[in-house]
Amino acid sequence: MEFAYVNGKIVPAHKAVLSIFDRGLVLGDGLFETLKAVDYVPEFYKEHYSRLKKSAKRLKLHLPVSEDGLLSIINTLCKKSKLKMAVVRITLTRGMYTGGLAIDPTVEPSLMVSVREVPAENKRLIEKGVNVAVSSINKIATSGLDPQLKSTNYLANIFAKAEADQKGCYEAILLGEKGEIAELSTASFFVVIKGRVYTPPIDTGILPGITRQQVLKLLQHGRLDFQEKKVFLKEMPKFEEAFLTSSVRGVIPIVKIDKKMIGEGRPGVLTKKLWQMYIDRCGKNRLKCAKSIKSEN
């Protein structure tokens, strides 16, 4: 049985409820974070909490739990749910809707945390790679107030992913204002050209993905050639490798874009190397986080 946390209470997930008048539901007025936990310990938790805190401040949302407090909630939920590998979803909304659009600072926010099993397909995706499609939905349509916020208003991403599904593809690429590759509907984008790794810069209007940040650190520490630079579809014939990154899936090879083969049409050497480096980094990060949890207890 899976458990969830809703506004101070831990309950069986199937009994978790939220008011139909919550602004997260009525207005899409909220934020979320998704991360992975292994052996009851969330990966890169400090980075996720920091982004959640900054986003909450940007939206004038009160975050009603401390860094240590939220970590304890996640750890407890994973243990009670008996999930050794879990997808953790943290959702923060502005609380009860009282009519109109005005922000009432006296209204208590709503905080929900849920856990579920990590999809079994992840291993297959890493071994075989995935096909992605270019969406007709421009990245500008998804940005809303600020592209660096993980807002609960995800309609543009949903419809971009729907386009990819219709084409039989795993993910959708969203383009920037000038037709440059921005990101995918639920992931960051990387490509290898002449042995150098490129990823779109933040000013393309993309989310500063946590896994994206970790891969950039791996490239730097491993003294691998990389650059944050705008990449365009017309450069696709030069793509030797490509991959996406996300907190739950890690590093996933991209072998086709709109049915056009990338490199040899299979996961590349550099992508595999970065995948292993990322796995090792996750392990080291969990050890640090686990020590933090033990010290709390």
pLDDT at 181: 97
**Same domain (yes/no): 88, 184:** no
pLDDT at 294: 66
Q: Are 192 and 254 in contact (CB under 8 A)?
A: no
pLDDT at 55: 95
**Same domain (yes/no): 143, 266:** yes
Q: How many domains are contained in the chain?
A: 2
**Same domain (yes/no): 46, 171:** no
**Same domain (yes/no): 7, 85:** yes
**Same domain (yes/no): 235, 130:** yes
Domain span at 169: 123-283
**Same domain (yes/no): 49, 29:** yes
pLDDT at 3: 98
Q: Domain for residue 290, yes or no?
A: no
pLDDT at 293: 80
**Same domain (yes/no): 129, 101:** no
pLDDT at 142: 63
- Where residue 241 sits, what CATH number does that domain have? 3.20.10.10
pLDDT at 174: 95
Q: Domain for residue 60, yes or no?
A: yes
pLDDT at 145: 64
Q: Tens digits of per-residue pLDDT, 152-186?
A: 888 889 999 999 999 999 999 999 988 999 999 99
Q: Domain for residue 296, yes or no?
A: no
**Same domain (yes/no): 184, 74:** no
Q: Domain for residue 294, yes or no?
A: no
Residues in the chain with pLDDT < 50? none
- Where residue 11 sits, what CATH number does that domain have? 3.30.470.10
**Same domain (yes/no): 130, 113:** no
Q: Tens digits of per-residue pLDDT, 240-254?
A: 999 999 999 999 999
Count of C-beta atoms within a 10 Å radius of residue 95: 24
**Same domain (yes/no): 132, 208:** yes
**Same domain (yes/no): 52, 180:** no
**Same domain (yes/no): 246, 266:** yes
Q: Domain for residue 169, yes or no?
A: yes
